[in-house]
Amino acid sequence: METPANDNTATPAQQALDVLAENTGDAAALDALAGSDVLIPVPDDVSEEDVANPDAVALPVLEQPGGRPVVPVFTSELEMIELLPFVSRYRLVPLGALAAQWPADDLSLSIDASSEHCLTLTSEGVRTLLVRP
């Protein structure tokens, strides 16, 4: 994977997203993305006890145009702040582990939704592309 010449601070996940923007089937980029940690904003109504529970993650669900539900996750604090500037808490979770437990309904996953390297996957896409053996 190549790092864009003007961005020496890109995380491995952001580099993978850049590669996937050009070639959605790049196995190395998918592996790198699945192996990366992502920031998941913690909804305001989640208790501190639930935030501290390592076995559960409360997913923030937003509504996309057309009413489809999506969970936003981010590759860095900067990416998160650009879209959700008022988020005060987040969890750092391995993306592959999150994908392995992804619900089977119509819930999509959007990675770095406000950036130029944004990737949004359907529920099926999350489970088939990001779950690694």
pTM of the model: 0.84
Quote the pLDDT of residue 128.
84
CA atoms within 13 A on the CB side of 113: 18
Quote the pLDDT of residue 57.
81
Quote the pLDDT of residue 43.
81
Helices 12-22, 27-34: axis angle to 10 degrees equals: 150
Quote the pLDDT of residue 68.
87
- Residues 6+ positions from 85 with CB-CB distance below 8 Å: none
* pLDDT tens digits for range 37-52: 999 998 878 778 777 7
Quote the pLDDT of residue 3.
37
Quote the pLDDT of residue 133.
62
What residues in the chain have per-residue pLDDT under 70? 1-8, 132-133
> How far is Cα 104 from Cα 112, in angstroms, rounded to an integer?
22
Quote the pLDDT of residue 64.
81
Q: Where do the domains of the chain lie, and which CATH numbers do they carry?
A: 12-129 (3.40.1350)
Quote the pLDDT of residue 4.
42
| C-beta separation of 73 from 14 below 8 A | no
Quote the pLDDT of residue 8.
57
Quote the pLDDT of residue 79.
92
